[in-house]
Chain A
């Protein structure tokens, strides 16, 4: 029909004559009577069709409409609520052309989300997991049981390295999960491809090693040594010595900002841009040595745990902490933030592990206590590993359950743990060496090869390095709310309009921020009650005072011998409020 419907509309008779006869092939030649009536062309507004009815991408067969997707499946890809075409009034967008343009742009976003969801069909792998039957508990599983049930390639991923001499070990997996670096407290450093077990380098720096961290790819890693922080390449060659980062206890790396973050023994935090080798910021947290430090992967804010039980949040743009949360009554021993940036796990010396909601309220969700956590880490899929002494407990959906679903006992006490990206593997650095254990369902099954690729070739690595450097996010963009950049800057707009000369006509723009919090107003009903209460207390105290005065006057007559001990009354000084509080 297409164009024709714009000018004519087909009037169907109430009873279609052909309907009855259609089943009879002999009568099929008989056409249903259709009258075509010319319609005056009405001024049509831009019509937005229902979204599910649209067809995308490749030309489909005529009449093919892809089935609509369930809303909750698409929600994962959504970047926030789009425009509601019915709610865009004509005052907001005056011209039809502009309105159509905006709606078109919005519909592109919608179809993009839809396509992203439909592209899931191309994903190659499925997530791991444990299927628990009735009456069974996954807690009874140990590594031997798991290894027995999995294929040979995966079985090799569960192993133990006995390294007694230079223990305890700090561990770090490279960003694509392919390489591992181990740093023994007594100076032993080893970097290797842990999947093939091919050693890249192994040497002893002959001084204490406090932390190790891979930089943006597997060619370089940073080591916090006794005095300074060093950068080595994968051959073990010393490339840099960062003397500004001295006596660092904990290292973090922000890969999209190329920032190496160190927590100093002196209580300072420093951010070093490793692409240009400059210190971006260095602030004193003034709260003791910074041995507990982690980064929020979603907004690049640094979380520091202190000995007074607080966790402070730091950005390189603000001299003081952006937020300070009192998490525990005793010293914080470990901090971890999950991939989405919604949950924070803190452990303290009181033996508690608490989960916090970071989104808006900073409130504790759950609390678990098995012993002082020495290492906590979140996996890509949101599993939490909680190590105390030599036991590591792994939780799934920590917000809802308090019971771990898997447990692992190491030979020595655990001091550092990390889930391997894109693998179902947890690496544990202990006092007896290194443990690699299988945790089904921990890693992201389908990697994006243009983001992190475990199978990348040398050339791809070089290309991605150049791309990553070009896209390096400036440290000024680190904010607590990482959506700030995508929002309308109403403050500047308002300033601009306010600064316009008075003789110019000003545009009437309503500059109310969408998420602006309303001032806490007490409802009127409450207000009246409160004022009534106040009045009542004032009245009562007044009466009480009067009574006491009268009683005093009544009890003591002028000729009483005890009268001389009574203090001479000047005036009633005490205010009714003070009186009230005394009682």
Chain B
């Protein structure tokens, strides 16, 4: 008979010197890991609680403008430069890491309406209420340090005096073309004094024009007659138009899905459209309680940020109907512009009370270099949150956000209005001939018509 008894050699289990790592043999046999689900659930609960504890999104406020911040611009290749225009015609260049203004220039008289970068990343274009298009050097000269925020006379590289109203500007991705919105949609070639094309579709004014950065010849615009128009700059006339029930304030193309764009509307919602099929929006993004003023995409194309007239910033995921995050502070007033930085980590907002604010895109994210173990722990926590996210207790903690009172009350009011509308429709349906009051999907409710 042979007898074998378990006998462990301690040398296999104990480290030799104290400079070695501890030996940690693993055995993944489920019998050695009882209560697997319950323990994971507890870990998930801890993870969501920690997420809420560490959710401190506000990083800094850039103070310096002496009027409403009207537009923001991001450098196409440099992460640290930020460009901002104000209602008094000032343009400021900021260094984000040092949180300082490095240059100030008096760009226009009256509002700076928009700015965009040319193909050459050293030049940007600004348009203003004074009907001028100006070309600027994007690199601040180091010698000119502003003292007391006063404008140092910096002259524009080039100036075009036009006879048109200019409300917005957007540059072509590959050619030296740019489009402006205003009375009509105009396409300009670099530094030429007259526009190349002029597109009209019986509209009085366009408040936003945007070039598609992937399908480079496609141009879109939001008009004051509640319509969104698509142009192909190779042709002479606009190609398509969709009319909403209320005006779209802003339009942005998805950087990763060239067919998709999102508009921020006056009816508090955002709509995602497929350029090829404008009849039904891909998605509706609800949650704001006032008009959406500006929006910008995350470079990943999976999320976008909106700034609204209700004094909050919201972050939406493109495949969900409601926001995942809401940012607000006591001092922040109506949002005029928002920006998602190119490293997808930060959000920058400009608002009515002359401040520019920097936020984290993920409120609970730890900034700086992460150690491997830290990163692993964060990844593990993320997957736990995903796995147990639908459990009521975890969902409640994950979803909970504090919102200002006016938003909270407005939300309640809107819910009452919505409910009563639905109830009324339901009652009407039950008391009329079957089929007389058809079900209309929420997506199509706000689409008035599509024109070719």
Chain A residues close to B by CB (< 8 Å):
76-77, 79, 116, 119, 122-133, 136, 138, 141, 145-146, 149-151, 153-154, 157, 256, 297-298, 300, 339-340, 380, 422-424, 438, 440, 443-455, 457, 460, 470-474, 477, 482-483, 485-486, 492, 501-505
Contacts and interface: CB of A to CB of B under 8 A. Distances in A.
B443 interface: no
B7 A154 contact: yes
B32 A451 contact: yes
A149 B37 contact: no
B439 A505 contact: yes
Given A256-B34, A482-B35, A485-B38, A448 B25 contact: yes
Given A149-B2, A502-B426, A482 B26 contact: no
Question: B4, B12, B22, B430: which has the most chain A beta carbons within 10 Å?
Answer: B4
A131 B39 contact: no
Given A132-B1, A157-B5, A455-B13, 18 more contacts: A130-B3, A138-B1, A141-B3, A151-B5, A151-B7, A256-B34, A380-B31, A424-B5, A444-B27, A446-B27, A448-B25, A457-B22, A470-B43, A471-B39, A473-B39, A473-B42, A501-B423, A503-B425
Contacts of B120: none
B23 interface: yes
Contacts of B235: none
Given A256-B34, A473-B39, A502-B426, A447 B4 contact: no
A256 B5 contact: no
B368 interface: no
B212 to A, nearest CB: 23
Interface string B423-452: 101110110000000010000000000000
B8 interface: yes
Interface in B377-423: 392, 422-423
Contacts of B30: 76-77, 79
B321 to A, nearest CB: 15
A483 B426 CA distance: 42
Contacts of B12: 124
B26 A504 contact: no
B32 A485 contact: no
B37 A486 contact: yes
B28 interface: yes
A359 B426 CA distance: 50
B426 A460 contact: no
B8 A125 contact: yes
B1 to A, nearest CB: 5
Interface size class of B (residues with CB under 8 A): 35 or more
A449 B26 contact: yes
Interface in B1-55: 1-8, 10, 12-14, 22-39, 41-43, 46
Contact of B426 (A298, A447, A504): A504
Scoring B12, B14, B31, B46 by chain A CB atoms within 10 A of each residue's CB, the highest score goes to: B31
A380 B31 CA distance: 9
- Give the one of A77, A125, A440 with max B CB within 10 A: A125
Contacts of B2: 130-131, 149
Contacts of B7: 150-151, 153-154
B41 A449 contact: no
A167 B46 CA distance: 46
5 contacts: A440-B3, A446-B27, A477-B41, A482-B35, A501-B423
A367 B13 CA distance: 42
Nearest to B26: A448
Nearest to B18: A457
B26 A119 contact: yes
B42 A472 contact: yes
Contact of B3 (A125, A150, A447): A150
Contact of A455 (B3, B14, B439): B14
Contacts of B24: 449-450, 453
Contacts of A453: 24
Contacts of A423: 6
B27 A123 contact: yes
Given A127-B6, A485-B38, A505-B439, A446 B422 contact: no
A366 to B, nearest CB: 22
Contacts of B25: 122-124, 446-449
A438 B5 contact: yes
B353 to A, nearest CB: 42
B429 A503 contact: yes
Given A424-B6, A474-B42, A77 B28 contact: yes
Contact of A339 (B1, B3, B31, B430): B31
A18 B79 CA distance: 59
A141 B1 contact: yes
B227 to A, nearest CB: 30
A471 B439 CA distance: 49
A297 B30 CA distance: 13
B38 A477 contact: yes
B367 to A, nearest CB: 24
A470 B5 contact: no
B163 to A, nearest CB: 50
Contacts of A485: 37-38, 41
Contacts of A444: 27, 29, 31-32
A308 to B, nearest CB: 31
Given A455-B14, A502-B426, A76 B29 contact: yes
Contacts of B13: 454-455
Contacts of B38: 256, 473, 477, 482, 485
Contacts of A483: 37
Contacts of A128: 3-6
